[in-house]
Structure formats: structure tokens, C-alpha cells
Amino acid sequence: MLLIHCPHCREDREEEEYSYSGEAHIVRPLEPEALSDQEWGDYLFFRKNPKGIHHEMWYHAVGCRRYFYATRNTLSYEIIETYKVGEQPQVSAQGAA
């Protein structure tokens, strides 16, 4: 059971309160109709799926019902940081920013 810190509620809550929305910082294309099939497929489906440090999006479904980002290690499951949408991570696969 993960204990996840919601940066909006500023509380550590159990993972059952949250749902997962996959890789973070994927920007929706401003003009989807201008993309080729290749680019649109890449945007929709292709992911980094790393073993180790991963930036990902979570949703506090039964709490504040707001989205936020987390930097988590997918091997040890350690949650290194959580931060609000619009902010940048302090830690990345290359080390601390």
C-alpha cells in the first residue's frame, strides 16, 4: 500500500484514494488535425515506461479531486516528490535538478 502525499490537500493518504493517469508532462497537441498518423499515435499510445525514476500523473479521486504529478521509482516504489500541475520536478533520472 502506497502512502501518497497530495500537494493540494497537503496530507499523506492511502493509494486507494487515488487513481493513476500514467506518464506526466505529455502535452496535448494544440492542433491535433495537423498531426500525421505517426505523431498522433505516438502522442496517444507510446510511453517511456522506465524502470526507475518516473514522472507520472495522479488524481486524488476521493479527496480533493484534483490532478498532480509525482516522481516515483518504479522499481522500489519510493515516492520521491509530489508537485502541482504547472510545476517542474526537483528530481529526474539524471539526478536532482
Does 94 interact with another protein (rule: CB under 8 A)? Answer: no
**Per rule CB under 8 A, count of chain residues that contact another protein:** 27
Does 25 interact with another protein (rule: CB under 8 A)? Answer: no
Q: 25 Cβ partners below 8 Å, 6+ apart?
A: 55, 69
| Residue 72: strand, helix, or coil | strand
**Measured on CA atoms in the order 82, 75, 22, 11, is the torsion positive or negative?**
negative
Q: Which stretch binds another protein (CB under 8 A): 5-13, 25-33, 38-46, 82-90?
A: 38-46
Chain positions contacting another protein, by CB under 8 A: 1-2, 15-16, 19-20, 22, 37-38, 40-42, 44-51, 54, 56, 72, 74-77
